[in-house]
């Protein structure tokens, strides 16, 4: 009888040990599977998002901004699906979790209305595309080149290469001046000559100096006419079209070139003067 009891005790202990070992092996297997799924999921998310980004880089007619945005969305979707698969591996009911996250998301959304408005504005910016990567823009008081458009903010690089972060809600809700949208821009100057100058000669000198530059476009037709008789000068208004990418350097260069051309032609460029009359003492 005692032997039978000892055998039953030994058998129970052995079975319990085997069950414990089996449970540990099963738990280790699930952990290894979860880690592998996470690694594969993150690598897949990174690979797919990068591939989407490179599609626009290989094809110039595609909008880089839109594909960057889509790549970010795909990354988040794949990562979220990976997490759900990992939870299923451990037998967690994901439907309940999704419901909980939905309710939590509603509460968080109410608390983070400003952040969500930035996300919504980011979606509007990407799909309606008032700006895109590489554009030189002015948004409110900020001016610079668009370097990135993310879910929450737009990054600008100023002329001095200073980073400026503008929330997307301010971008979408503000007046946007896009200097790069159209391929051509019209440069405009006012050049003053003395009242005694030959106007025909002055006009010819100005136009020759500007149109001799290869960046100056003859179509649309340039404009150069007297538009103001000032206190000290006769003012010519000059308008010439140029490629948008060349605008700033071109506009500055033409001022210098016209000044040198007028000096060489002997056309006087007046400056304000004041004549004083003195009354002789009696």
Give the model's pLDDT for residue 107: 53
> Tens place of pLDDT for every residue, the chain, 282 residues?
555 455 455 445 554 554 455 556 666 666 777 778 778 877 887 887 777 777 766 655 555 666 677 777 777 777 777 777 777 766 666 566 666 566 655 555 554 456 778 878 887 887 788 898 889 999 988 999 999 888 788 999 998 999 999 999 899 989 999 999 999 999 999 999 999 999 999 999 999 999 999 999 999 999 999 999 988 899 999 999 999 989 999 999 999 999 999 999 999 988 776 666 666 555
CATH 3.40.50.2300 fits 2-111, yes or no: no
Give the model's pLDDT for residue 229: 92
Residue 123 contacts by C-beta under 8 Å, 6 or more apart in sequence? 69
Ranges in the chain annotated CATH 2.30.30.60: 131-178
Ranges in the chain annotated CATH 3.30.70.100: 184-265
Give the model's pLDDT for residue 224: 95
CATH number of 131-178: 2.30.30.60
Alpha helices in the chain (DSSP H): 2-58, 64-89, 94-111, 113-128, 168-172, 199-211, 247-265
Structure tokens at 112: 């983070």
Q: Tell me, which fold does domain 184-265 have in CATH?
A: Alpha-Beta Plaits (3.30.70)
Whether the full predicted model's pTM is greater than 0.85, yes or no, is no
Structure tokens at 166: 């503008």
């Amino acid at each position: 009888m005692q032997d039978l009891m000892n055998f039953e005790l030994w058998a129970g202990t052995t079975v319990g040990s085997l069950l414990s070992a089996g449970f540990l092996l099963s738990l280790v297997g699930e952990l290894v599977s979860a880690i592998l799924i996470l690694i594969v999921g993150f690598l897949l998310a990174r690979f797919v998002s990068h591939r989407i980004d490179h599609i626009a880089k290989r094809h110039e007619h595609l909008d880089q901004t839109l594909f960057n945005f889509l790549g970010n969305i795909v990354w988040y979707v794949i990562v979220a699906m990976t997490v759900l698969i990992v939870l299923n591996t451990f037998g967690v009911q994901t439907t309940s979790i999704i419901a909980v996250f939905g309710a939590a998301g509603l509460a968080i959304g109410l608390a983070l209305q400003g952040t969500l408005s930035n996300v919504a504005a980011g979606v509007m910016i990407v799909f309606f595309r008032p700006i895109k990567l590489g554009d030189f823009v002015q948004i409110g008081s900020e001016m610079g080149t668009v370097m990135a458009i993310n879910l929450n903010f737009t990054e600008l690089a100023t002329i001095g290469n200073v980073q400026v972060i503008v929330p997307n809600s301010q971008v979408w809700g503000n007046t946007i001046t896009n200097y790069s949208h159209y391929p051509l821009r019209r440069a405009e100057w006012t050049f003053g000559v003395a009242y005694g100058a030959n106007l025909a000669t002055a006009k010819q000198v100005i136009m020759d100096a500007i149109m001799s530059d290869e960046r100056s476009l003859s179509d649309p037709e340039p404009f150069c006419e007297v538009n103001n008789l000032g206190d000290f000068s006769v003012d010519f208004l000059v308008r010439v079209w140029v490629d948008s990418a060349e605008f700033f350097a071109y506009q500055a260069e033409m001022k210098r070139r016209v000044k040198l051309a007028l000096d060489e032609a002997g056309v006087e460029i007046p400056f304000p003067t004041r004549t004083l009359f003195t009354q002789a003492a009696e």
